[in-house]
Amino acid sequence: MAKDPETIVPFDSSVSEGPAFRKKREVPDGLWMRCEGCGQMVYRKVVAENMDVCPECGFHNRIPARQRIEQLVDPDSFEELFAEVVADDPLGFEWEGKNYRDYLKDYQQRAGTDEGVLTGVGYVKGRRIALGVMNGSFVGGSMGSVSGERLTMLIERAAEARLPLVIVCTSGGMRMQEGVLSLVQMAKTSAALAKFDEAGGLYVAVLTDPTTGGTTASIGMLADLILAEPGAMIGFAGPRVIANTIRQELPDGFQRAEFLLDHGFLDRIVERKELRSEIARLIDYCER
């Protein structure tokens, strides 16, 4: 039956309230992120609560050094050492109109650390250790003269105090801005580790994504026990450089942690949430 025309309410375009005109709720930026591993959109808070590991596929995101320390050691137990060792500019390096000192200041502000490695002592489930953690956010985690000196001093302190040594490697290699002074750190840290081994010390290396270049060729592969996070890229030269040099197609998964484990270069792949327990277990086992 037709409605009475007098009861029909004409459309008023000025009306902006009511069920049909509810405002769309604004979603704050940054709540979601796309996983680099599976490509799924995941809730950033859930990823953070999962130690920055994707809950869908287990992809391990890169994390800064201080966050790594918080995850590894017992609460408030880390005592930083050798922070007084700071960088200089012995080569007078300049790049794009900026000298090396200014270049480092920029990275210090962005990365939240004063160098590419943090060193100190702390406790892992009650076991006291000497700990070095490289920061991939600082000049790509490259090892310069300061990083090498801090690590060498840490190794020597571990030998003196008879502490297990744990170094978390995250590095793009040696720091080109320091030339040969950077390359020397490979030999210096390796020599210190040799003395540490002669003294009967236990050294556990944890290789994370990425561990490449001179870091792999020195401290990364000289440990008594070599652990790695799932999917970490580990190697010396990059896969594209190798492929172009040997003119061959590389195997699937080349230079990933799983590939290295299959070929005998690693002792174990350990998920981030299990790393504290695994390090504590290894310390207990080796001290028997």
pLDDT of res. 22 = 54
Residues 109, 113, 118: CA angle, nearest 5 degrees: 170
The pLDDT, as a whole number, for residue 238 is 85
Give the per-residue pLDDT at 96: 81
Dist CA 195 CA 201 (whole Å): 9
d(C-alpha 135, C-alpha 142), whole Å: 8
Confidence (pLDDT) at 97: 83
- In the chain, CATH 3.90.226.10 covers 62-286
Ramachandran angles phi, psi of 236, nearest 5°: -100, -80
What is the C-alpha separation between 108 and 20, in angstroms, rounded?
52
pLDDT tens by residue, the chain, 288 residues: 454 544 544 545 555 555 554 555 565 668 999 999 999 999 999 999 999 999 999 999 999 999 999 999 999 999 999 999 998 888 889 888 889 999 899 999 999 899 999 999 999 999 999 999 999 999 999 999 999 999 999 999 999 999 999 999 999 999 988 999 999 999 999 999 999 999 999 999 999 999 999 999 999 999 999 999 999 999 999 888 899 999 999 999 999 999 999 999 999 999 999 999 999 999 999 986
Q: Which helix (H) or strand (E) holds 203?
A: strand 203-211
pLDDT at 24: 54
Contact of 227 with 266, CB cutoff 8 Å: yes
Query: Which pair of tokens denotes residue 252?
Result: 């699937």
- Axis crossing angle, helix 275-286 with helix 65-72, rounded to the nearest 10: 60
The pLDDT of residue 219 = 98
Q: What confidence score (pLDDT) does residue 87 get?
A: 87
CA dihedral 257, 225, 172, 62 (to 10 degrees): 60
Q: CB neighbours (10 Å) of residue 59? A: 20
DSSP-assigned states of every residue in 98-155: EEHHHHHHHHHHHHSSSSSEEEEEEEETTEEEEEEEE-TTSGGG-B-HHHHHHHHHHH
Cα–Cα distance, 79 to 96 (Å, whole number): 37
Residue 56 half-sphere exposure, CB side, CA atoms within 13 Å? Answer: 12
Q: Extract the tokens encoding 208.
A: 């994370």
| pLDDT given at position 28 | 65
Q: Could you say which of 3.20.20.210, 3.90.226.10, 2.60.40.3880, 3.40.50.970 is the CATH number of the domain covering 62-286? A: 3.90.226.10
Predicted pLDDT of residue 98:
87
